[in-house]
Amino acid sequence: MTDTVDLRHDWTLEEIQALLDLPLMDLLWRAQSVHRAANPGYRVQLASLLSVKTGGCEEDCAYCSQSMYNSSDVGGQADLEVKAVLERARAAAAAGADRFCMGWAWREIREGPAFESMLRMVRGVRELGLEACVTAGMLTDTQAERLAEAGLTAYNHNLDTSPEHYDRIITTRTYEERLETLQRVRRAGVTLCCGGIIGMGETLRDRASMLRVLACIDPHPESVPINGLVAVEGTPLEGLPTVDPLELVRMVAVARILMPFSRVRLSAGREELNREAQILCLQAGADSIFYGDTLLTTGNPAVDADRALLEAAGVQASWQEQEALEQQPEQETAAA
Ligand code: SAM
Ligand code: DTB
Ligand code: SF4
């Protein structure tokens, strides 16, 4: 632990709200100081996402393109097979991704052939040298243990919003059930990927409240995705205005201050951010992005654009390390 890094699990709502309210320059300064002290050797992790089971989900999440309750539901697509998923994972690794995240539009993990395939996918992704992350709704202790045995690095299960705003967004799953799922994941020894979304009509206090729940988890979630709402047509939230980029910057910065050692992921909503806004998010302490031109069902910046972004920011990412390694034998031969 360094002098400047305050690792706490007892942040109050008022303290967090005061951070969100700081003059932007002061907030950025604090977030950067914490980030540099906690994570020397700044590097951005690149995570690729793939939807294995798309649409037809029984939950009523108001933001989601995959809910049966929303006319946006993109159901009816065949689930991807193990071989196809591992081909995509191989391509992601070749493009320089460090982590491969797979999504199932499920309320909870189903037993049977689909779960056996999920385990094979996890093993296959790990064999490629990538971190493996799964997001598939609630799970049982046994399922969490089997995923851990297969080598799963992380399980993503978001809070989505504050406990107070939650009922306006989802009614088919309780906040308590979300917290229980997180505990099961932890008990099985799998790391937690847990964050939320801004831009769903919540107040500043709601944002502070969601961050407080995250920061009270001990130890903090290893990965904290911060999503800007992608207002998908055919969902109840389709008419909501795009999140102000500086709101995302603030959210990232406060997440960084509260959870100094966690990976803070700048997640959905990047297509609405210009290059400079994204660089501000990196400066505020984001140290991961989703890499590849689709998230689960919506768009994400192209790989080339992201490479240019990281180069412009002067940030080291894994594809650069990979290219340097590939060039090494040639240089050695040339020198001989
Ligand atoms: N069904 C699983 C679940 O809900 O846990 C996994 C998939 S779900 C799509 C993963 C997360 O993506 C959600 O919890 C939500 O935070 C985020 N997400 C989904 N749709 C989004 C949207 N339109 N805008 C921003 N974030 C979104
Ligand atoms: C997370 O918090 N964001 C990612 C990942 N975890 C699974 C998903 C974003 C989904 C955005 C909407 C879509 O593409 O369907
Ligand atoms: Fe289903 Fe997950 Fe979408 Fe909610 S967020 S509707 S649980 S796929």
Point out the ligand 2 atom lying closest to the alpha carbon of residue 103. 7
Mean pLDDT value across residues 213-237: 97
Ligand 2 centroid from CA 268, angstroms: 6
Domains of the chain, CATH where assigned: 9-329 (3.20.20.70)
Instruction: Name the one residue in this structure whose structure tokens are 């906040």.
Output: 175
Q: Is the pLDDT of residue 94 over 80?
A: yes
Alpha helices in the chain (DSSP H): 13-20, 24-38, 82-94, 113-127, 141-149, 175-187, 204-216, 245-258, 275-283, 303-313, 318-335
CA-only gyration radius of the chain, Å: 19
Q: Is the pLDDT of residue 257 over 90?
A: yes
Point out the ligand 3 atom lying closest to the alpha carbon of residue 135. 2
* pLDDT confidence of residue 41: 83
From the CA of 243, the nearest ligand is: 1
* pLDDT confidence of residue 211: 98
For 99-117, write each residue's pLDDT tens digit. 999 999 999 999 999 999 9
Q: Which amino acid is at 191?
A: T
Mean pLDDT value across residues 214-227: 97
Tell me whether residue 85 is exposed, middle or buried, using C-beta atoms within 10 angstroms of its C-beta: 0 to 12, 13 to 18, 19 or more.
buried
* pLDDT confidence of residue 5: 86
* Ligand 1 pocket by Cβ (under 6 Å): 57, 63-64, 103, 105-106, 135-137, 157-158, 160, 197, 227, 229-230, 232, 268, 296
3 state SS of 223: strand
Point out the ligand 3 atom lying closest to the alpha carbon of residue 69. 6
Ligand 1 centroid from CA 64, angstroms: 6
Return the active site residues: 57, 61, 64, 101, 133, 193, 265
Q: Is the pLDDT of residue 153 over 50?
A: yes
The Cα–Cα gap between 237 and 142 comes to 36
* pLDDT confidence of residue 335: 47
* pLDDT confidence of residue 2: 47
What predicted TM-score, i.e. pTM, was given to this entire model? Answer: 0.94
* pLDDT confidence of residue 336: 43
Q: Is the pLDDT of residue 48 over 70?
A: yes
Tell me whether residue 134 is exposed, middle or buried, using C-beta atoms within 10 angstroms of its C-beta: 0 to 12, 13 to 18, 19 or more.
buried
DSSP states of 153-186 as a string?
-EEE---BS-TTTGGGT-SSS-HHHHHHHHHHHH
Mean pLDDT value across residues 303-330: 81
* pLDDT confidence of residue 209: 98
Ligand 3 centroid from CA 55, angstroms: 8
Mean pLDDT value across residues 48-75: 92
From the CA of 236, the nearest ligand is: 1
3 state SS of 269: coil
Q: Is the pLDDT of residue 316 over 90?
A: no
From the CA of 230, the nearest ligand is: 1
Ligand 3 centroid from CA 228, angstroms: 16
